[in-house]
Structure 1
């Protein structure tokens, strides 16, 4: 006869001791469901059967059920015993339900258990996890006897409530009260020293550890390593780590993260290799630390390689891995790798993770795929402030100022909290799309409607809005009336606009201030020289270039790159290092003839060397962005668009030429320069020839 048939034959009026016996039989066999079914058959359950079942629910992680059963017990006016209260206190602690915690605390007092040490310690822990400091203090005060658990639980309560200094004060009082801290106490207080970056407090705890022989405890030693690393004492952290007689994966991960946090990439990577050589079983924290560390230190290709190694080891990337590795794709502008990660996220249900999906939105935007970026954003089930800021900035960098504004207004209408980054993104969109009045309105709404004080970046954006809109005198007055010191970005925005609008006088004023603020920035010299050249002030332009040479300021070489077949190909002006260079130049020569027939006229104003007209035209054809575009088109492989990236502003003549190339070849050409994205299609550019 099976257990279900036995259950069905049991009478409903079993005496309490027999009911309890059968409940325990089911619980011992791990059948919690049938134990509850039998309990529900009891007409008048006693406290013992209730307690056994509540305890079982709590131990097996069914905290909600434990609390519900306790409520039933109280509704039947059954007085709980100490064990029942202990079990339900632990259940409430795991759920962090402060209202229920207060009710249980009152029951403990009502039934006379408020002086019990074990129950009191459990209550302090419960109130701590519910972040109810007053309740924890009341219980602690009511205890006639307090042991190390009482003190440690009160310390943890303060820490959980964010009252770090007060918690450390309680830790000190514990020693004054004659209670000796144990390894759990020390392991809980050391992370506080890390968070506060309080080296003196950390050394004090370290001294206590040495005095009381706790240095052999792996948790204590790992916490010490983390504390010293957080306080920027990496040598001390290394010494503690190397002196550990036993190290677990946590301690290895702590020193690994410490090296990365201190900018010691080589030592971090050596430690990672050492972990693998010594057969340490790497966990998610290990892999994520090395991937994140590589990205933070600019080793983006290495980050992608290690992510592949992680999968080969048998661990599938989790949401932290995805969030760490997507910036590597963004930095490398590796659309192919980004798409692969997107596919992985789709297959493994990571698209619900808001942090990872926001990183995906940004990756697509930075790789020139704005439409994909917008689609991912639209499919996000939940969108926070960071997600909204990201999609607004994505549209802004692609020159979609109108869409950026619409998204901003929708964000506000939905009640999403704006912050300073939101307004930086919106103002950038207004500047790139010459939405001057909208930019002014947005800027002044910051303080009035959103209680956000504009900072230096916002003022610089506002100068850019006015400058790009052609209101140079107004931009100059705005700079003069700023309540904060104008930054290089503000003066740079004005100088850039002076080049476009050929305003020599204001250009000289802006350049003079920039030479004082950032004397080693070659871009300012180049812009001023271009302004003089456009005005045919050859002597002044030559003087600027001479001043630049005399001061040892070197122009950053222009470089463009394109990814073909998962490999990045770099180009500089006049580049002949590519294997297909001859074919690239043949393509450009042929395209040059077709462009002239279509009405293209080379703008030799952008050539500053003293060359004759034909040489100047040939020089323009050697510019790196044009070489990269040509190579990308030669390797289209059926694609309808190409993406090229450049480290500096796109050359004005190249900008004009690429419009013709896009129309003649019939493809969309996306170029990302140092300022924004340019989408060339059918002979026009998304920037409307203004950047």
Structure 2
């Protein structure tokens, strides 16, 4: 029985919307040529859009030129297809043909497609031209078009232009506000992003999942735990905690803020966690140094029938590395391709080199790098370099440093680490040469900073800091605490001071490290039952690590320090890292 022509046409259009292959698209075109014609322009428009979205620009253009009746919808289909592939030049070419050759005026749909392509490709001049066209056509009252322009200017970093657009908008919808929050967060203005969220609420606009995703990122950038708890409360109130992606974002945020217990609670409340949620919890265990727990979680994940991928194994190997689980890490690295079909990538090799290096197996780590099937990057060499620094192997360290210098000559951290390695070995002349090389290259050393939240504010400390309003109280408290832990048997690790000075000077220098000042401040301003949570931008030194252990014992306080590598949980004189970091 022959199919009704309208039914046949509807079937073809439905097929095109789900088409993912060029051969299938051509087969549908053949059916159209054989059984229908292009007088009904819609099927032709759909074919053009399909070819464009599949990256077949020439096929789309040739078919488009064959269409007997090309209206605005036809041109929009062509431009929209090009836009989805980011073909800015082809979008503009079609735009100019439509407008100047055919005399067809674009509408907001046309302009939105081109703006989208400009945003994805960073085509600033072209996007500004389309903005001007929208102004001349008088269509800037269309909220969706303005949202597209906000997104475009946000991605180009033009926050002033974003602000002007928002100021002139007739009515901002939830998408508009979400864009404002996301744009400011992505452009390192997270505090402004939160301010826009507050304005959004005052405007009577209810947040959606897009709002929350941007807010969670803003909270992570700001590092404010109280703000995060407020956002968590808002999520619960709006019922958004049932969305797995939102719950996963919260889990990840709390882990990065040092609240692993909160992460565990949220994970336990997720119904049917997906692979991303399992992996986020695995990453949380890894960064906090709970390798055994990460392994148990991985086994539970497998029992639930969730297949691991390359990201899962990256965090699993990282967890093994931070816990000294050498044999376990080797086993996971070996079964990745054999059992799960996950071929090792650079991140996996970096984790394995880090695992071997942290355990003092520097030669094994070096051999692994030599036999890698791909060229090692700075992450792989950097993992070995860190191990050379820890174990004082300046000879191998120099070789690795040369590799890093060639890969990234502008990274000051590599020069600093080599200089510190020479200093620790008493090779002061070599250390001086490296620092002179840094100066010649114009490289600047980032100072060590420690941060602690109190009173809805982040307090920042650097070594020997005297700028804090409560500086006198902080130093008095620090002196008092240092006295207590010395009586308990603490001895300063002055070898951590990498300067050729007298022992007394070393002790004075090391006693004023930023971590110690932050801990003293925390003891002054926080309640006895709450943990002192500190973030450090560099790796914590051995002396500060020992100091934190003794203070946690003497003061009976939980101290959590996140350095550039991982979290350290100090309680009753013991660190969660087992002195392995």
Same-fold call, TM cutoff 0.5: yes
The one of 251, 256, 273 aligned to 1:361 = 251
Bigger RCO of structures 1 and 2 (CA < 8 A, at least 6 apart): 2
SS of alignment partner, residue 351 of structure 1? helix
Matched-pair contact (CA < 8 Å) for 1:215–1:221: no
More displaced stretch, 261-270 vs 398-407? 261-270
In the other structure, the counterpart of 2:388 is 498
In structure 1, what is the equivalent of residue 577 of structure 2? Answer: 687
1:315 aligns to what SS in structure 2? coil
CA contact (8 A) 2:154 2:183 kept: yes
The answer to whether residue 147 in structure 2 is matched with residue 147 in structure 1 is: no
Relative to structure 1, is the Cα distance of residues 174 and 243 closer, same or farther in structure 2, using a 3 angstrom cutoff?
closer
Q: What does residue 235 of structure 1 align with?
A: 125
Is the CA contact 2:60–2:78 (under 8 Å) kept in the aligned structure 1? Answer: no
> Which residue of structure 2 aligns with residue 48 of structure 1?
none
Q: Give 1:516 shift.
A: 3.0
Distance in 1, Cα, partners of 2:417 & 2:47: 63
Q: TM-score, normalised by structure 2?
A: 0.92
Match of 1:635 among 525, 535, 553: 525
SS at match of 1:470: coil
Q: Which residue of 2 aligns with 1:39?
A: none
Q: 1:123 to 1:541 in 2, by over 3 A?
A: closer
Indicate how the Cα distance of structure 1 residues 608 and 224 shifts in structure 2: closer, same or farther if over 3 A, else same: closer
In structure 2, C-alpha distance between the alignment counterparts of 1:569 and 1:188, rounded to whole Å: 54
Which of 364, 374, 377 is equivalent to 2:264?
Answer: 374
SS in structure 2 opposite 1:569? strand
Question: Aligned pair 1:528/2:418, yes or no?
Answer: yes
Alpha-carbon spacing, 1:605–1:274, altered in 2? closer, same or farther (3 Å): farther
Report deviation, 1:355. Answer: 1.7
The structural deviation recorded for 1:612 is: 2.7
Q: In structure 1, the residue corresponding to 2:501 is in which secondary structure?
A: coil
Tell me which residue corresponds to 2:305: 415
Structure number with larger C-alpha Rg: 1
For 1:165, which of 43, 56, 62 is the aligned residue? 56
1:313-338 CA-to-partner distances (Å, cap 9, x unmatched) read 11111001101110111122211111
**1:252 match:** 146
Query: Aligned pair in 2 of structure 1 residues 628, 326: CA closer, same or farther (>3 Å)?
Result: same
C-alpha contact 2:449 2:536 (8 A) present in aligned 1? yes
Residue 123 of structure 1 contacts residue 139 of structure 1 at CA under 8 Å; is this kept in 2?
no
In structure 2, the partner of 1:484 is 374
Residue 557 of structure 1: CA displacement?
A: 0.7
Choose 251-260 or 134-143, whichever is displaced more: 134-143
Match of 2:203 in 1: 313
Shift of the alpha carbon at 1:340? Answer: 1.2
Deviation at 1:238, TM superposition (A): 1.8
Could you tell me how far apart the structure 1 residues matched to 2:195 and 2:111 are? Answer: 32
1:430 equivalent in structure 2: 320
Q: Match for residue 483 of structure 2?
A: 593
Structure 1 counterpart of 2:227? 337
The alignment partner of 1:215 has SS state of coil
Measured after TM superposition, the shift of residue 378 of structure 1 is 1.8
Equivalent in 674, 678, 691 of residue 568 of structure 2: 678
Q: Offset of 1:537 from its aligned partner?
A: 3.7
Matches within 5 A, 1:493-572: 493-572=383-462
Paired residue for 1:398? 288
Equivalent in the alignment of 2:156? 262
User: How many angstroms does 1:130 deviate by?
Assistant: 5.7
Counterpart of 1:288 in structure 2 is 178
2:473 corresponding residue in structure 1: 583
Change (3 A) 1:550 1:241: closer
Matches within 5 A, 1:40-119: 110=1, 114-115=4-5, 118-119=6-7
Measured at CA, do residues 185 and 637 of structure 1 come closer, stay the same or move farther in structure 2, by a change above 3 Å? Answer: farther
Structure 1 residue 453: Cα displacement: 2.3
Per the alignment, in what secondary structure is the counterpart of residue 491 of structure 2? coil
Provide the residue aligned with 1:655 in structure 2.
545
* 1:671 shift after superposition: 0.6
CA change 1:598–1:142 in 2 (3 A) is same
Q: Is the 8 A contact 1:140 1:150 kept in 2?
A: no
Aligned length: 571
User: How far, CA to CA, are the matches of 2:161 and 2:289 in structure 1?
Assistant: 43
The structure-2 alpha-carbon separation of the partners of 1:127 and 1:653, relative to structure 1 and needing over 3 Å to count, comes to same
Partner of 1:122: 10
What's the CA shift string for 1:390-436, capped at 9, x where partnerless? 11111101001112222223323333232221121111111111111
Cα distance change of structure 1 residues 610 and 164 upon mapping to structure 2, 3 Å threshold: closer
Distance 1:688 1:337 in 2: 32
Q: Is the 8 A contact 1:190 1:223 kept in 2?
A: yes
**CA distance in structure 1 between the aligned counterparts of 2:480 and 2:441, rounded to whole angstroms:** 42
Q: Structure 1 stretches of 5 or more lacking a match?
A: 1-109
How far, CA to CA, are the matches of 1:629 and 1:381 in structure 2?
39
Shift of 1:154: 4.0
Cα drift, residue 669 of structure 1:
0.7
Further displaced range: 385-394 or 203-212: 203-212
- For the structure 1 residues 294 and 137, does the alpha-carbon distance in structure 2 shift closer, same or farther, using more than 3 Å as the test? farther
Q: Which residue of 2 aligns with 1:71?
A: none
TM-score (norm 1): 0.78
Shift of the alpha carbon at 1:347?
Answer: 1.5
Residues 611-630 of structure 1, C-alpha deviation per residue, up to 9 Å, x if partnerless?
33222212112111111111
Q: Distance in 2 between matches of 1:668 and 1:319?
A: 35
**1:223 and 2:116 aligned:** no
For 1:639 and 1:301, locate their aligned partners in 2 and report how far apart those are by CA, in whole Å. 29
Measure, in 2, the Cα distance between the counterparts of 1:424 and 1:597.
44
State the Cα distance separating 1:555 from its structure 2 match.
1.9
Q: Quote the offset at 1:312 in angstroms.
A: 0.9
Alpha-carbon deviation of 1:296? 1.4
CA distance in 2, matches of 1:518, 1:176: 53
Is 1:201 aligned with 2:90?
A: yes
After superposition, what is the alpha-carbon deviation per residue over 1:63-97, rounded to whole angstroms, capped at 9, x for unaligned? xxxxxxxxxxxxxxxxxxxxxxxxxxxxxxxxxxx
Of 542-551 and 240-249, the range deviating more from structure 2: 542-551
Distance of aligned partners of 1:295 and 1:147 in 2 relative to their CA distance in 1, 3 Å threshold: same
RMSD: 2.4
Match of 1:69 in 2: none
Which residue of structure 2 lines up, in the alignment, with residue 325 of structure 1?
215
